[in-house]
Structure formats: C-alpha cells, structure tokens
Amino acid sequence: MVNIQPPSPQDMPSFFLLLTLIGFFLVLGELLTRKFSINPLVVRKVIHLSMGVVMFFIPTYFTSNFYPLIVALLFAGIGLLSLKSGVLMSLHGETVLTPEGERVISYGPVLFPLVFFVQALFLWGSHVWILQTSMLVQGIGDALAALVGTAAGGRHIENLTKSRKSVEGTMAMFISSFVILSVSLFVFKPAFTAELAAQPFWMLLALALLLALLATAVEALLSWGLDNLFIPLAIAYVLYVIDVNHMVTLEGFLLGGLFALFMAVFSIKVKFLNNSGATATFLLGTTIFGIGGLDWTVPMLTFYLLSSILSKLGHKRKAKFDLVFEKGSQRDAGQVYANGGVAWIMMVIYSLTNDPYIFFAYLGTLAAVQADTWATEIGTMWPNAKARLITTFKDVPVGTSGGVSIPGTSASFIGSLFICSSAVLMNVSWVHELGIVQSLLVIGISGLIASLVDSFFGATVQAQYYDPIRQKVTERTHSVAPDGSLVANELLKGYHFVNNDLVNTLCAISGSAVAYVVVRQLIVL
C-alpha cells in the first residue's frame, strides 16, 4: 500500500544535511573527474557505493518518509538532466562499449534514486528494513562488481549481456551481496514476522546465499544501468513475500531456488540454453518454483521440457530454416523473457494478491507460447506442408513469418491442451472448480488464438530482411559474408524494433488476457 506520511518539523535538519551530503558527493566527483582526470567510471561507482551506505541510514534519521521521497525525486531529476546534457562527467562521463563497439548508455544515476523512491512509498514503516537491505546490496555490491571487474581486466563471460561482465566482477558482486545479506538478516531479525523470525540460523544463511545468487544473476544479465532498478526490487520482493505471505514457506523457496539452479546448469549442458538464457531461467524458475510450488511449477516444466525437446527433433529437416529464423534452437535470455516473462509476472501478481483467476492467466500465457512453439516446430518438420499467409491466404514458403498451415495450427491447439492437462494431473482445485472440460477448452482456445495473433503480427509488423549473400528473406538483421565480415540486410517490411522476441511477448500477453477474461465471465455466469 502506498504510504506518504506528512512532513515532520524535526526532520528538517536531517533533510538539509542529506541535501548537503549529496551535493558534496557530486562536487567532489566533478573535481576528481575534471581536475585530477580520474576515470569517470571509478568516480561514479565510488559515489554509487557511498550513496548506497547513505540510503541505508536514511530511515534512522527521518521519522517520516516525506523528505526522503523529495530528495530521491530531486536526485533522480539531477541524474536525468545529466543524462540528457552530459553536464556531470562524474555521472555519465565514461564510455562503455559492447563487444561490437556500440556505446552503452547507463541509466543507473536516474534509476538508483528512483528505486529508493518506490520502495520508500511502499515499505516505509514495519518493512523499512527490506528497503535498507536491498539498497545496501545494490549500492555496495554493484559498485564493487564494476570496480573489481575494471581493475582485474579479467575473463569475460560470453553470451551474457550487451556490456561485458567479468568472472572477477561477478564474484565480487556475489561475495559482497552474501556478506551484506547475511549480516542484515541477523541484525533485522527482531523486525521479522514471528514465522520468519523463528527460522534457525542455517536457514537464514541459506536464504542470504540464494538472494546473493539472485542479485548476482540480475547484475550479470542487465546492461544500461537497469540493474540499479531490478536488484533492489528483486531482493525486496522476495523478502516481502516470504515475510508476509504465509502460503510461501522459506523451505519451499530454498528448494525451488535449488531446483531452478539445477535446471539452468542442465540446460547449458544439453545446449537448450546459452549462458544468458540459463541465467534468466534461474531467475524465473526460482520465483515460480520457490513461490508457486508444484501447482505452478509443473505447467512451466511441461512447456519447457516439451518445447525444448521438440526444438531438438527433426534437426536435419529444419536445418534449411536456420538462416531464416532470427535465432537458433539454443535459446537466449531474450527468448526466455519472451516465452516466460508474462508467466513470471503472473506469478508475482498472484503472490501479492492471491487472486485465483491469475492462475488461469498463467496457464493461458504458457499455452500461448507452447502453441506458438509447436506450430513453428511441427509446421517446419511436417513433410510437404503447405503454408498460407494469415492476412491474404496466399501460398508462402514454410517458415515465413505470418505463415500458417494445417499441421502447425493443429499442433498449436494440441500443445495448449498439454499445458492445461498438467494442471489437471496436479489436481489444482481452481481447475476442478471451473470444470476439467471447460478448463481444457478455455486454455486450448486461448493458446490457439494467441498463436494466430503471433502469426498476424509476424505477417504485418515484424521486421523481415533480404539477405543479399544467400538471396533469401530472413528475420536476421545481418548476414555473415564468406570472408567472415558482417553485412547488414535490407529491411523489406515491418519495423526494425519489432523482432521475433517482441512478437512472442505479444503472443504470450494475448493468451494470458484471453484466458483471464473468459474464465472471469464463466465464473460470473
């Protein structure tokens, strides 16, 4: 619940002291950057670390959240102004390049105070310890990861994110996060609810370990300073749900995290996922497995295992499409987000609201991505299949974006039924309350409609390019010339920013929305 408290007169000295302190850090940073030519990245991370410590102590010196909210907005505004104008070199003066030589812009100086603002709105009061813990991890852990990674030079982790992440920086993030979380969980133990406070020493230590892994995974995956937003939110969400939602047990969350870690490692070993995809799967799986339990886990595993195995079958038959599709069968983080991101959000919403209709929205989004995957895989594997463009019904080559076929469309409906069947086998009470046949029809049709939505967007707005080297239409933005150089493909239709991952996300949203709306109407009737 949003909590804006009235200003307290006794907070005025602390308010001016905080403004002075922030101003001091900014002036000092500019002096170090401009006058002494110290690396702006180093200066920014030192300021970042210092502000993390300051934010940790803010609740100690303020009786109301009014002035801290004002300061957070002011600091975010200064960061935004600097981002647009480049006036503060200590905040935005460094140049970070991707492996391809593209400049990475960091929104961290804007998002860092902004996430403090959001948490202060919701957590100030009995759960302010969560705000303090999450901001300290972000302030110190993320700063040390960058500083150690830059100093060590070290071994870069491939296939992870736009900005390079090093093994040394990642280890610094994990170790510092684990230490901070371990200390915080014991220092703030008197503020826990009775159930969490009763947990033994080793369980709280295990929670700190898992949270440190989650924070490290978020930091490793995200570029552009987005980790400044999502590391504190991830930690705050887990701690809040475990502390407040009595349906979520610490034992279940820890087991879910362990199983998600196993799935991530297994997926790399069998080449279902690359490094970024496995890391994203660990994050998604920990939330769904650890908080949702078996009722939510089994449908997700049904999609993951069946679709992953199907994508590996008929490899020789599908080889001719490898240069047509944007990505191969080894999924990356973008594909994990596109296929599982909406389900992830549904799990988070349910854990905060306990709305049973959300479970059907969850099944609907899994049915949607299962239907899309099965339609593509079966459609391209089926011998002598004929495809038609969904908008004009003209014959198109199998594998064309927006093309539909009888085998593929049939497979999309059957694949959706498997998702709902897994919930039926788990004896989920909500499914039985609605009715097994009704549930199968709702989820099956939701998946079928979503796959057609995917085809429609694929035929209309998804980017398609002409590969001048192989003289083919493709979803790929670049092709590799015989000499190994990258050649930009020519955009034939659609929009550059509408790639396959975005279309899959729209497909997932549509399946979720259809299932949610239909089930609510059926319950009302």
Given a cut of 90, is residue 11 above it in pLDDT?
yes
The bridge status of strand 403-404 relative to strand 486-488 is unpaired
Q: How far apart are CA 406 and CA 323, in angstroms?
A: 24
- Select the more confidently predicted residue: 36 or 290: 290
User: Percentage of the chain with pLDDT > 90?
Assistant: 50
Report residue 96: phi and psi, to 5°.
-110, 130
Question: What pLDDT was estimated at residue 317?
Answer: 54
pLDDT in tens, 275-316: 889 999 999 999 999 999 999 999 999 998 888 787 777 555
Closest of 61, 214, 43 to residue 138, by C-alpha:
214
Region 25-51: mean pLDDT is 86
Mean pLDDT of all residues belonging to the chain:
87
Region 324-343: mean pLDDT is 75
Distance set, CA 206 to CA 193, 213, 285 (Å): 18, 11, 17
Instruction: Indicate the domain borders of the chain.
Output: 9-244, 348-524
Q: What angle do CA 429, 435, 437 make, to 5 degrees?
A: 130
Q: How far apart are CA 359 and CA 347, in angstroms?
A: 8
Closest of 173, 135, 179, 499 to residue 337, by C-alpha:
499
Report residue 97: phi and psi, to 5°.
-115, 145
Cα end-to-end span (Å), the chain: 32
Provide the b/e sequence for 375-414 (b: ≥16 CB within 10 Å).
Answer: bbbbbbbbeebebbbbeeeeebebbbbbbbbebbbbbbbb
- Beta-bridged to residue 166, according to DSSP, are 156
Given a cut of 90, is residue 273 above it in pLDDT?
no
pLDDT in tens, 51-65: 999 999 999 999 999
**Lowest-pLDDT range of 97-101, 255-259, 306-310:** 97-101
Q: How far apart are CA 148 and CA 155, in angstroms?
A: 12
**Lowest-pLDDT range of 140-144, 154-158, 244-248, 357-361:** 154-158
Question: What pLDDT was estimated at residue 115?
Answer: 96
What is the CB-side half-sphere exposure of residue 89 using CA atoms within 13 A? Answer: 13
Closest of 61, 57, 50, 51 to residue 15, by C-alpha:
61
Question: What pLDDT was estimated at residue 104?
Answer: 59
Question: What pLDDT was estimated at residue 299?
Answer: 95
Question: What pLDDT was estimated at residue 450?
Answer: 95
Given a cut of 50, is residue 322 above it in pLDDT?
no
Token pair in block for residue 525: 């009737």
Question: What pLDDT was estimated at residue 323?
Answer: 45
What is the CB-side half-sphere exposure of residue 236 using CA atoms within 13 A? Answer: 25
User: Percentage of the chain with pLDDT > 70?
Assistant: 92
